[in-house]
Structure 1
Amino acid sequence: MDFSAALRAERLLAIVRGRDPEASFRTVMALAEEGVSLIEVSLSGADALRVIGRAREELGDAAWLGAGTVLSADDARRAAEAGANLIVTPGLGSALEESVRQGLPVLAGVLTPSEVIAADAAGAAALKLFPASVGGCAYLQSLLGPFPELPFVPVGGVDAEAARAYLAAGAVAVGVGAPLIGDAADGGELDGLRKRTAEFQAACDA
């Protein structure tokens, strides 16, 4: 299954950003065990490349394991070397260009119509509407007017209720960080993460 198809099928991208590398790794593995098949590890977290590498060894080649907060071409190269097979950027630039050159799918950060056009022209596989909380569902629907066929993934401030609303409004998937992960990637317990995961999966299946 390619990334675009996986987004449409799964509808939930989990975003892990933690201060504790071991806890971040455990969080990735717990998400995978609970059936989350699209997982992003933000490079702004502690020792993120090592977390990605360890998770890749455990999950195998077929798993969708992304690197997030990829800001530069060098970030993109190092993420790919660590085992990421998906690149997520907060905006446009050399990270998008280098990832496309390597043949990696990119979830590219956009906010304005001009950025949507530029990201699509550059070869982005999907469009990360970020920060989605700025305009909410109404803004997403406004963008879908001129761009009805493009795959938007709202990210930023997405709780379970917002996830339902964005998907109903036409998003192909949602990206969720803190409302899903909580403190798990900082050393918190995993039972709460598992419960929240079930809640978000239910919201995204609705």
Structure 2
Amino acid sequence: MDLPAALAAHRLVAVVRGKDADAALRTVLVLAEEGIELIEVSLSGADALTVIERARSSLGPDLPLGVGTVLTADDARAAHSAGATFAVTPGLGEGVAAARELGMPVLAGVMTPTEVIAAQALDVAALKIFPIAQAGGAAYLKALLGPFPDVPFVPVGGVDEAVARACLAAGATAVGVGSPLVGDAADGGSISALRDRARVFRGLVQEAGP
């Protein structure tokens, strides 16, 4: 898949991390029903590989499906076998190269300019600034865009509605949103509330424009 193009088109990555595998799967499917095209299932959630495998079966072969918290080469291989089509990492570990070798584009976690340069050398598809809220939010993103104006940055970590709006306005290609969007749905919480939040975030990125 062309991950940079998908990020630029949809501008939102939903991050699903749940304590209940069935609830996490239900969350993925509801987000897809609500028109959120880019969904990441974190390997730090319960039985995440099974969630990915079941989600792939339900969503069909063509929709993108991401795997998050990819730390090792084994993580990348297992997620690829389960049906993930792109990988998200918190940093520049061995999972990056392994995912690339498997043909999965990588949204790689960085924080500093040095890490941005190192990630570019690894031929990653886009860069996840993590954790953005704790690092200065949109102001820090804007500072990074100075020396790296053409890099597709995706701020993640503490991204609520206000941070999402500010980062998109500052030049983020997309934003990654976990608990402010997913809430407790992946732990067995309200699906109705999840739908409401999904519509809010969908509206927010649509307002931000391309």
Normalising by structure 2, we get a TM-score of 0.97
Residues 68 and 88 in structure 1, CA contact (< 8 A), matched pair in contact too: yes
Q: Counterpart in 2 of 1:35? A: 35
Specify the code of the residue in structure 1 equivalent to 2:97: E
**1:60 deviation in Å?**
1.1
Q: Counterpart in 2 of 1:88? A: 88
**1:40 deviation in Å?**
0.2
**1:160 deviation in Å?**
1.2
**1:62 deviation in Å?**
1.2
Instruction: Describe the superposition over 1:18-77 as per-residue Cα deviations: whole angstroms up to 9, x where unpaired.
Output: 000000000000000000010000000000000000000011111110100010011000
Q: Counterpart in 2 of 1:100? A: 100
Q: Counterpart in 2 of 1:69? A: 69
- Aligned CA RMSD, in angstroms, stands at 0.7
**Mapped partners of 1:204, 1:148: distance in 2:** 21
Specify the code of the residue in structure 1 equivalent to 2:128: K
> Secondary structure at the residue paired with 2:65?
strand
Matches within 5 A, 1:10-21: 10-21=10-21
Query: Paired residues, what number?
Result: 206
> Secondary structure at the residue paired with 1:64?
coil
Specify the code of the residue in structure 1 equivalent to 2:141: L
Identity across matched positions, percent: 63
**Mapped partners of 1:2, 1:59: distance in 2:** 18
Specify the code of the residue in structure 1 equivalent to 2:16: V
Residues 161 and 203 in structure 1, CA contact (< 8 A), matched pair in contact too: no
**Mapped partners of 2:105, 2:21: distance in 1:** 25
Specify the code of the residue in structure 2 equivalent to 1:21: A
Specify the code of the residue in structure 1 equivalent to 2:143: S
> Secondary structure at the residue paired with 1:175?
strand
Specify the code of the residue in structure 1 equivalent to 2:187: D
**Mapped partners of 1:44, 1:34: distance in 2:** 24
Unaligned ranges ≥5, structure 2: none
**1:128 deviation in Å?**
0.3
Q: Counterpart in 2 of 1:204? A: 205
> Secondary structure at the residue paired with 1:118?
helix
